[in-house]
Amino acid sequence: MVTTMRLATVGVSNLNKALRLFRGIMKLKVERSGPVPASLKKAWKLKPGTRARMAELSCKGYPIGRLRLVEYRPIPKQKVRVDFGPGARDSGTDVGPKAIDFYVADPILPSVGKIKKAGYRFRSPPVLHQIGNTISEECLFSGPDGVPVLIMVGHRHFATSMRKGAPHGPFSEIPTISICAGDLKKTRAFYGKVLGLVAVTDAETPAKYRLLVNDLTGTPKGTRIHFLMYSRPPEASGKILLVHFFDRTGKRLKGRMKPGNLGFTLLTHDTKDIVALHRKLKAARAKVITPPTLITDDGKPYMTMLAQGPNEEMFEFTQAVKAPAAKPKAKKKAKKKASRKK
């Protein structure tokens, strides 16, 4: 029913500052920028009077796993997740959106240094680890307005996880975003049966790797962890990784992930039949925030729909449509030749 994630939207308080990280340091390409169109602000349910401007970035034009930064005025007070540093009121295992991932060129330390120099704080040093046949080196930092950003070197990653040749620059497009999941059964039903995505990973961490994964995720020793990852093979980017912590699962970040807040606010997926998807969402009793709505003031026309997933995640589904046919111009009336009597 849907593609892998085309866009991850992050609400920021200062767009220019955020661009200095993602465009300046990470060398992502700004594909388009400007005010958020009025019809889209309405579909997003932004408060009347809210001003918003955006920038959409890609890795060298790649269409999947793009980043959309949106600056709001007045500056929002609500952050999606605050689970690190002074004032942290959330847990790393709270149900809801977690982190945005990027592959980085090897070695990782020069990139870490540049990000630190720009004033961003790392939550952990780079850790080289092996789980099964997968070898990774990764670390997590707090990006603009505290949004968790994970950077990693895929020393040995499967083709289902890393696009061939990645990162195609200093940094890649977004290969994966992560969400802390509550109910695995409901999560499988939503992503598999409703959205039609494919589970490329669905397994609990084996006991022999549990302590390592506990260290990587910052969870207490012995915490059971289940990884569930959805994609649309053979596409390796735009994946959704859902992480379940069993009895360590925290509270739900209710109503946090939505446009108008700071942090990770939207997952955008394309569909070929938004009306049929709307029916499936309703049949599954998913919460539809905005029913299929025509957007005509954001470049080429498209339909959009906002809906909430089972783990407080907010989706934006889009379908390209043909431009409305132009109304035929009225024929000019032929001037009547007036005959004048002389």
Among residues 158, 161, 130, 126, which one has the least CA distance to residue 140? 126
- 97 near 253, Cβ under 8 Å? yes
The DSSP line for 109-136 is HHHHHHHHHTTPEESS--EEEEETTEEE
| pLDDT digit string (tens) for the chain, length 342 residues | 899 999 999 999 999 999 999 999 999 999 999 999 999 999 999 999 999 999 999 999 999 999 999 999 999 999 999 999 988 999 999 999 999 999 999 999 999 999 999 999 999 899 999 998 999 999 999 999 999 999 999 999 999 899 999 999 999 999 999 999 999 999 999 999 999 999 999 999 999 999 999 999 999 999 999 999 999 999 999 999 999 999 999 999 999 999 999 999 999 999 999 999 999 999 999 999 999 999 999 999 999 999 999 999 999 999 999 876 656 665 555 444 444 444
- 121 near 142, Cβ under 8 Å? yes
Residue 142 CA to residue 244 CA, distance in Å, equals: 22
Token couple for 300: 């080429």
pLDDT at 322: 86
pLDDT at 331: 58
Per DSSP bridges, beta strands 263-271 and 314-320 are parallel
pTM for the predicted model, two decimal places: 0.92
pLDDT at 334: 47
pLDDT at 325: 62
Domains of the chain: residue spans and CATH: 2-320 (3.10.180.10)
